[in-house]
Amino acid sequence: MHKYAIGVVGASGYSGIELCRILAAHPGVEVRFVASDRWEGVTVRARTGIGGAVGTLAYVRNAQALEASQGCDAVLLATPAEASLELVPALLERGVKVVDLSGAFRLADAAAYPRHYGFEHRTPGLLETAVYGLPELADRKAIAAARLVANPGCYPTAAALALVPLLRAGLLTDESIVIDAASGVSGAGRQASEAYSFCEVADDVRPYKVLRHQHTPEIAQSLARGAGRAVRVTFTPHLLPIRRGILSTASARLAPRVAPGTLADALRAAYRDEPLVEVLDTPEQVSIARTVGTARAAVAVSAADSGFDPGRVVVVSSIDNLLKGAASQAVQNLNLMLGLPERTALEPAPGVSPS
Amino acid sequence: MHKYAIGVVGASGYSGIELCRILAAHPGVEVRFVASDRWEGVTVRARTGIGGAVGTLAYVRNAQALEASQGCDAVLLATPAEASLELVPALLERGVKVVDLSGAFRLADAAAYPRHYGFEHRTPGLLETAVYGLPELADRKAIAAARLVANPGCYPTAAALALVPLLRAGLLTDESIVIDAASGVSGAGRQASEAYSFCEVADDVRPYKVLRHQHTPEIAQSLARGAGRAVRVTFTPHLLPIRRGILSTASARLAPRVAPGTLADALRAAYRDEPLVEVLDTPEQVSIARTVGTARAAVAVSAADSGFDPGRVVVVSSIDNLLKGAASQAVQNLNLMLGLPERTALEPAPGVSPS
Amino acid sequence: MHKYAIGVVGASGYSGIELCRILAAHPGVEVRFVASDRWEGVTVRARTGIGGAVGTLAYVRNAQALEASQGCDAVLLATPAEASLELVPALLERGVKVVDLSGAFRLADAAAYPRHYGFEHRTPGLLETAVYGLPELADRKAIAAARLVANPGCYPTAAALALVPLLRAGLLTDESIVIDAASGVSGAGRQASEAYSFCEVADDVRPYKVLRHQHTPEIAQSLARGAGRAVRVTFTPHLLPIRRGILSTASARLAPRVAPGTLADALRAAYRDEPLVEVLDTPEQVSIARTVGTARAAVAVSAADSGFDPGRVVVVSSIDNLLKGAASQAVQNLNLMLGLPERTALEPAPGVSPS
Amino acid sequence: MHKYAIGVVGASGYSGIELCRILAAHPGVEVRFVASDRWEGVTVRARTGIGGAVGTLAYVRNAQALEASQGCDAVLLATPAEASLELVPALLERGVKVVDLSGAFRLADAAAYPRHYGFEHRTPGLLETAVYGLPELADRKAIAAARLVANPGCYPTAAALALVPLLRAGLLTDESIVIDAASGVSGAGRQASEAYSFCEVADDVRPYKVLRHQHTPEIAQSLARGAGRAVRVTFTPHLLPIRRGILSTASARLAPRVAPGTLADALRAAYRDEPLVEVLDTPEQVSIARTVGTARAAVAVSAADSGFDPGRVVVVSSIDNLLKGAASQAVQNLNLMLGLPERTALEPAPGVSPS
């Protein structure tokens, strides 16, 4: 089998490690370099226990990534948005395809960056060519043809998978949608701060960035694309005392004269041929444990036709924030860009299991 | 100091243990008996480590509770609703005051019981005389005069403390309110079931009883009383991998021509003289850790005047489900009924601390 | 590739699920049946999310296992010892090879069973033919030739991997060895008991079965075989508030005139060609997280040549109790018995990762 | 009641917060100042939720502690050893009594400091006058008369309470003692480091400072004082994924011709009049949850008269590392030094409970 040459930048972050783990078992790629300033010079195996050829690589500094990417077919960036903003144009110029796991190229509107990401976007032209890579909801041909794929955020992935099929099918009113979601701590990245120390996080749950999380415009963009109109949406994230996983609970309003059962039908239709999205019968079956350690999402919907809020729709979804919310979705996109089967290295079930 | 004679039924449940712990340090009461079928014959100290006079009591069977309550001034029931339904009338007949921690007497409308609790209410007349005991939002004179106080549920306490002051002040529209809340596992009571085993709960979060939790009518009742009109409300509870604590995130709509800052003012005004409700500056400061192990609630509000959902109000509250959501609130009610200072045995800070 | 026909009994326990997960990705076997009384009639995928052909199987009752095993090359038993005691002779009679994950055939001395397992061994003759299957320490030819392999216990695997190489090399005195070990809750199996409920286990650590755990004779047997003499050993297990993983800390005494560095040399020599045992430089590098979700063990040793207890040797080891302590070790044994490469389906790193 | 004037330095650490919490409910003291560089200028209540008069204090800088201690009867130091080394002589010169929670004055032998604490002891003369304050095992008159009390370390407290009564009674041989202990993360203090971040600690257990923990000489000193001879001891600490609590499992050897039951008798005799040490019937009853949130220790012993290691003694103990292992023990010492009842503010059970 031909092996495509791949590089990973930001390889010591939690998503970066997952990328390395997946690629270590990927039959169609050869990882040429892994970059991380923190672990420069050490081998992947020594830090992470990952075996195979990837395990024998020593991390190079991020500054060496451009040089190392010479001759690579694609590079995966698990870097902060500011770093991606610099690296992406340079990689594209060298003819290297890029999957960027940061938010730097996810928003179509450059004007949104100063407010939500705190920087001016220096290459707004690239926002037009970047393809937003949520394969189950996107035009896969566009991903396959893309030179730059913006890999979706973790919360936006969970929210869009739950709501877009319902919006596309016209099953929801234009009443605003409330998304309360909660994430494991790895969503905040590798941290050396008191706020994310064990004692400050364990046994606690708290909301954060209320009414101002940078994933809100991304969620709004996905929902608007699904609905074909602007969608009012409130997103409130919470920090959970677990390492991995996202649970998203979205509340919306059933359109008039729609039977509640139509909602589940729409989800099943949307994901009938999508092995990585599992539609469950009831929201109670959707849990973080259902998807952690897997490349899959789980989703289910329920609606009230009477009671204290008739017409209420509740859609619950879960993903592993580091996999379907980051690394495994990036590999879906990479596979599409390389012309490989989309789920290569992502299923069937791994030989050993999630903890 | 005169000591009132008190009994506790259901004393081996998690709320019952907290009742015993509080009463062990209460200078104004003498606990005459503690009842629990599970631990019959064993001492409180042996099972729980609680010291003092309460620690030396041996649990009697629940069936002995009526006899043991002879001569008691009040009895606290930490029993399932079905058990309370039987015990309450018998205790009242004997002239014993009752604080019932179950849901058996919380709903004014007897017709709600078959649907939400699964039983016909056999003493609907008592629903009229029962006083709903959420002191910070109630008429304390009514609690003091009551022979039967229905102690509020944990989720309804968190929701009402967050929303009622805003509804009373007319600051919210009649758009339906979405309450997503999450509870530690002790909210489900002492369990010998696989579903609540450590391996099935740890590292996981999941919704449960979606659109059909029995606390929904109680929440709707509190909000309606606050608003002076029916309030549409959706309540979605989630199970957290922690032992104690509730976090409630409520989303509502700001009434037209109300400045967002008015919301925090209303909360501060409502709780200015309420040491057991702490109004914090921002929702991010409200966390489960802030209140676990204490008799207090924490609450904060934020509102959006622009962005993706202008007019959105988010009110976050937290309590310890076993204390302000059960045992310490019951003792507030007990103190009021006995003519004692309301916070006796509930503050200042305990000599040793929550874990 | 020829596919061997395999069955799994006890397939709904935590180890049984791991067996199914591994076999689902095993290129050399076809799982013919999975048996579990609890989940009879439901598919593996519905309960566990496991995909592939295994996911489509519906659980049959354990009583059907014998019939279903007709024509199978081998059956894996993840059943309680009492059930294995009955099933093993019946399977062997039918010419089916067996890997038994219970303790029923691990002890060579039938007389040990009444005391440590609470039953008389009904087929003591089989104890002689059973091969104790800890591949890295055993004669692999014997495992390959065996019709019945007794898969080691989780604690004994961790203890033996740490100590046997040191005993074989004669580096320890005959002073008694102290093993303090701790396990995640899944070691107790699927539980519907209050003692293993989340609230009783979370935030707590406690010893159990002090001086009377049934793994003690198995540990003593392994150490004695390694040392070529009886070894005095004390084993104290502890319950941890985590789902998976074992950490074992063993204290022994350095033999006279042995340089401390010889200990690490002996471990490295023993495991030089054993990819599933990782010898680390210092005990502090050995942690539960290092091995959970993998088929590997980690081990490291340190010794004091001065200080408060000169000559003290501390050997620390970790495994995933459900994998190297149960399911993945069983598949190592199965592979050897079928003539397949020993680590088939156990490495390299899985496509998606442990949580 | 006369109120003694007290100060707390290092008041924002986890032990310092517990000191403030206890003193806030202490009827015999008035806290004059609390010092913490980190939280300078903020009130205790704002950061910790602690109420009462203590809650209204604003933290001053540590550099202001000496000046603020003018007129204080006693100061409690919850500071690193290096800081205590400087502060203690200066406070004593001003006539202020000191309880030092650090290790700076615990070891009688000044020569031990460079090796175990990494500094030369600058005031070795003070080591002679410092009283080691473990009240249940000490001469309380000496504590009461002391100007400087060295408050014991957390691990040494757990170890000494378990072993000293057995050594004093001559029930153990001189075979070396193995202590494997495990602590919640708060034992490492407030941390802004990746190693103590939630993601690196959760779901994991690991040993640390194997054969070189600075508490080893302190344990050896306590055991030697109890035995009246040098005691060989190995101490291996482990990090647990919980916030609070220590469990210590000590293995020793029963002296010849001593009946195993004598061990429990010795513990019961030693602690008959000690309400803060609970002697339980079996080691399995000793758990971290038994003592977390309380000022108490729990201890139990078991011995083998046959089996795989006849004569083996296992003594298990637990404490809350922040209370009996730090703050509540410091208040025991403070109370003794001030002539107050030793358990003032430490029992009976607090009004609200540990989480």
**Among all residues of chain D, which has the CA nearest to that of A201?**
D198
Chain D residues lying within 8 Å of C308, measured CB to CB:
216-217, 220, 232-235
Query: Which one-letter DSSP state was computed for residue A60?
Result: B
B352 and D354: CB-CB below 8 Å?
yes
User: What phi and psi values does residue B193 have, to the nearest 5 degrees?
Assistant: -130, 150
Q: Give the contacts of A279 (CB within 8 A, at least 6 positions apart).
A: A264, A267, A268, A271, A298, A299, A300
* Tokens found for residue A278: 């599992």
Chain C residues lying within 8 Å of B200, measured CB to CB:
198
Q: What is the pLDDT of residue B347?
A: 77
The alpha-helical segments, DSSP class H, found in B98-176 are 112-117, 124-129, 140-145, 154-168
Instruction: Judge whether B47 is closer than 8 Å to chain D, CB to CB.
Output: no
Q: How large a percentage of chain B has pLDDT more than 70? A: 97
Q: How large a percentage of chain D has pLDDT more than 90? A: 92
Q: How large a percentage of chain C has pLDDT more than 70? A: 97
Residue closest to D8 by CA, chosen among D37, D42, D35: D35
- Residue-averaged pLDDT of chain B: 95
Chain B residues lying within 8 Å of A238, measured CB to CB:
182, 247, 249
The arithmetic mean of pLDDT across residues B145-170, rounded, is 98
Instruction: Judge whether A295 is closer than 8 Å to chain C, CB to CB.
Output: yes
d(CA B139, CA B133): 9
A350 and C51: CB-CB below 8 Å?
no
Q: What is the pLDDT of residue D333?
A: 98
Which residues of A are annotated as catalytic?
Answer: 154
Query: pLDDT of A158-173, one tens digit each?
Result: 999 999 999 999 999 9
Query: pLDDT of D77-99, one tens digit each?
Result: 999 999 999 999 999 999 999 99
**Among all residues of chain D, which has the CA nearest to that of A196?**
D197
d(CA D9, CA D69): 10
Judged against a pLDDT cut of 60, whether residue C355 lies above it is answered with: no
B192 and C190: CB-CB below 8 Å?
no
Instruction: Judge whether D179 is closer than 8 Å to chain C, CB to CB.
Output: no
Query: pLDDT of D111-129, one tens digit each?
Result: 999 999 999 999 999 999 9
Q: What is the pLDDT of residue B334?
A: 98
**Lateral strand order in the sheet of C312-319:** C206-207, C233-239, C177-183, C246-253, C312-319, C297-303, C277-279
Which of D24, D348, D353 comes nearest B348 by C-beta?
D24
D314 and C204: CB-CB below 8 Å?
no
Of these residues, D20, D72, D154, D199, which one is catalytic? D154
The arithmetic mean of pLDDT across residues C334-338, rounded, is 98
- Kindly give the pairing relationship between strand A74-77 and strand A4-9: parallel
Q: What is the pLDDT of residue C1?
A: 67
- Kindly give the pairing relationship between strand C74-77 and strand C4-9: parallel
Q: Which of the other chains make 3 or more beta carbon contacts under 8 angstroms with chain D?
A: A, B, C
Judged against a pLDDT cut of 50, whether residue D313 lies above it is answered with: yes
- Is residue A347 very low, low, confident or very high in pLDDT (cuts 50, 70, 90)? confident
Query: pLDDT of C83-98, one tens digit each?
Result: 999 999 999 999 999 9
Instruction: Judge whether B57 is closer than 8 Å to chain A, CB to CB.
Output: no
Q: How large a percentage of chain B has pLDDT more than 90? A: 92
The arithmetic mean of pLDDT across residues B193-199, rounded, is 93
CATH tag, C4-151+326-338 = 3.40.50.720
Q: What is the pLDDT of residue A350?
A: 38
Chain B residues lying within 8 Å of D328, measured CB to CB:
352
- Is residue A80 very low, low, confident or very high in pLDDT (cuts 50, 70, 90)? very high
Q: What is the pLDDT of residue D1?
A: 67
d(CA A11, CA A83): 13
Chain B residues lying within 8 Å of C200, measured CB to CB:
198
For residue C83, give the H/E element and its range.
helix C81-93
A207 and B247: CB-CB below 8 Å?
yes
- Kindly give the pairing relationship between strand D297-303 and strand D277-279: parallel
The arithmetic mean of pLDDT across residues C156-178, rounded, is 98
> Could you please report the per-residue DSSP string of B92-108?
HHTT-EEEE-SSTTT-S
- Residue-averaged pLDDT of chain D: 95
Q: Which residues 307-336 in chain B show a CB within 8 A of chain A?
A: 307-309, 312, 314, 316
A292 and B203: CB-CB below 8 Å?
yes
> Could you please report the per-residue DSSP string of A136-205?
GGS-HHHHHH-SEEEPPPHHHHHHHHHHHHHHHTT-B-SSPEEEEEEE-GGGG-S--SGGGBHHHHTT--
Which of D18, D295, D349 comes nearest B50 by C-beta?
D349
Chain A residues lying within 8 Å of D203, measured CB to CB:
243, 355
Chain B residues lying within 8 Å of A175, measured CB to CB:
175
C-alpha dist (Å) from residue A282 to A158, A301, B254, D20, D291: 16, 6, 32, 48, 41
Judged against a pLDDT cut of 90, whether residue D228 lies above it is answered with: yes
B198 and C202: CB-CB below 8 Å?
yes
Query: pLDDT of A111-141, one tens digit each?
Result: 999 999 999 999 999 999 999 999 999 999 9
Judged against a pLDDT cut of 50, whether residue C26 lies above it is answered with: yes
* Tokens found for residue A318: 């879960």
Q: Which residues pair with C278 in a beta bridge?
A: C298
Please report where in the chains the tokens 């001086």 appear, as a residue.
Answer: C211
ipTM: 0.95
* Tokens found for residue A260: 């509640």
Judged against a pLDDT cut of 80, whether residue D352 lies above it is answered with: no
D353 and B243: CB-CB below 8 Å?
no
- Report the SS3 class of residue D148: strand
* Tokens found for residue B160: 């009402």
| d(CA A331, nearest CA chain B) in Å | 25
Instruction: Judge whether B93 is closer than 8 Å to chain C, CB to CB.
Output: no
D275 preceded by cis ω (within 30°)? no
- Is residue C49 very low, low, confident or very high in pLDDT (cuts 50, 70, 90)? confident
- Does the CA dihedral D185-D47-B156-B260 come out positive or negative? negative
Q: Give the contacts of B255 (CB within 8 A, at least 6 positions apart).
A: B170, B171, B172, B173
Instruction: Judge whether D147 is closer than 8 Å to chain C, CB to CB.
Output: no
Chain D residues lying within 8 Å of B278, measured CB to CB:
49
d(CA B309, CA B56): 58
Instruction: Judge whether C185 is closer than 8 Å to chain A, CB to CB.
Output: no
The arithmetic mean of pLDDT across residues A298-317, rounded, is 96
- Residue-averaged pLDDT of chain A: 95
* Tokens found for residue D304: 């083998």
| d(CA B197, nearest CA chain A) in Å | 14
Q: Which residues 205-224 in chain D show a CB within 8 A of chain B?
A: none
Chain A residues lying within 8 Å of D186, measured CB to CB:
199
Chain A residues lying within 8 Å of B355, measured CB to CB:
203
- Is residue B190 very low, low, confident or very high in pLDDT (cuts 50, 70, 90)? confident
Query: pLDDT of A9-65, one tens digit each?
Result: 999 999 999 999 999 989 999 999 999 999 999 999 999 988 889 999 999 999 999
Query: Which one-letter DSSP state was computed for residue D176?
Result: P
CATH class belonging to C155-319: alpha beta
* Tokens found for residue D34: 């609390």
**Lateral strand order in the sheet of A312-319:** A206-207, A233-239, A177-183, A246-253, A312-319, A297-303, A277-279
- Is residue A307 very low, low, confident or very high in pLDDT (cuts 50, 70, 90)? very high
d(CA B264, CA B159): 16
C293 and A352: CB-CB below 8 Å?
yes
Judged against a pLDDT cut of 90, whether residue D309 lies above it is answered with: yes
User: What phi and psi values does residue D274 have, to the nearest 5 degrees?
Assistant: -115, 95
Could you count the other beta carbons within 10 Å of the beta carbon of residue C286?
28
**Among all residues of chain C, which has the CA nearest to that of A280?**
C46
A202 and D242: CB-CB below 8 Å?
yes
Q: How large a percentage of chain A has pLDDT more than 70? A: 97
Query: pLDDT of A324-340, one tens digit each?
Result: 999 999 999 999 999 99
Query: pLDDT of C229-288, one tens digit each?
Result: 999 999 999 999 999 999 999 999 999 999 999 999 999 999 999 999 999 999 999 999
Please report where in the chains the tokens 């104004």 appear, as a residue.
Answer: B28
d(CA D82, CA D123): 12
Which residues of C are annotated as catalytic?
Answer: 154
- Does the CA dihedral C322-C323-C329-C331 come out positive or negative? positive
Which of C14, C186, C199 comes nearest B186 by C-beta?
C199
Q: Which residues pair with A315 in a beta bridge?
A: A250, A301
B199 and C241: CB-CB below 8 Å?
no
Which of A178, A247, A312 comes nearest B251 by C-beta?
A178
d(CA A274, CA A264): 15
Query: pLDDT of B211-259, one tens digit each?
Result: 999 999 999 999 999 999 999 999 999 999 999 999 999 999 999 999 9
d(CA D20, CA D153): 19
**Lateral strand order in the sheet of B297-303:** B206-207, B233-239, B177-183, B246-253, B312-319, B297-303, B277-279
Instruction: Judge whether C204 is closer than 8 Å to chain B, CB to CB.
Output: no
Asked if B148 contacts B98 with a C-beta cutoff of 8 angstroms, the reply is yes
D352 and B203: CB-CB below 8 Å?
no
Instruction: Judge whether D25 is closer than 8 Å to chain A, CB to CB.
Output: no
Residue closest to A52 by CA, chosen among C350, B255, C281: C350
Judged against a pLDDT cut of 50, whether residue C22 lies above it is answered with: yes
| d(CA A29, nearest CA chain B) in Å | 33
The arithmetic mean of pLDDT across residues A192-221, rounded, is 96
The alpha-helical segments, DSSP class H, found in chain B are 14-24, 44-48, 52-56, 65-68, 81-93, 112-117, 124-129, 140-145, 154-168, 198-201, 216-227, 261-270, 288-291, 327-338
- Kindly give the pairing relationship between strand D297-303 and strand C4-9: unpaired
Range with the poorest average pLDDT among A118-122, D48-52, D203-207:
D48-52
> Could you please report the per-residue DSSP string of D267-301?
HHHHHTT-TTEEEPSSGGG--HHHHTTSS-EEEEE
Q: What is the pLDDT of residue D348?
A: 55
Question: In chain D, what are the domain boundaries?
Answer: 4-151+326-338, 155-319
Q: What is the pLDDT of residue C353?
A: 42
Please report where in the chains the tokens 């499992």 appear, as a residue.
Answer: D249
| d(CA B201, nearest CA chain C) in Å | 7
Instruction: Judge whether C199 is closer than 8 Å to chain A, CB to CB.
Output: no
Cα Rg for chain B, rounded, in angstroms?
20
Chain B residues lying within 8 Å of C185, measured CB to CB:
197-199, 202
Instruction: Judge whether B188 is closer than 8 Å to chain A, CB to CB.
Output: no
Burial of B99 by CB count in 10 Å (0-12 exposed, 13-18 middle, 19+ buried)?
buried
d(CA C39, CA C58): 8
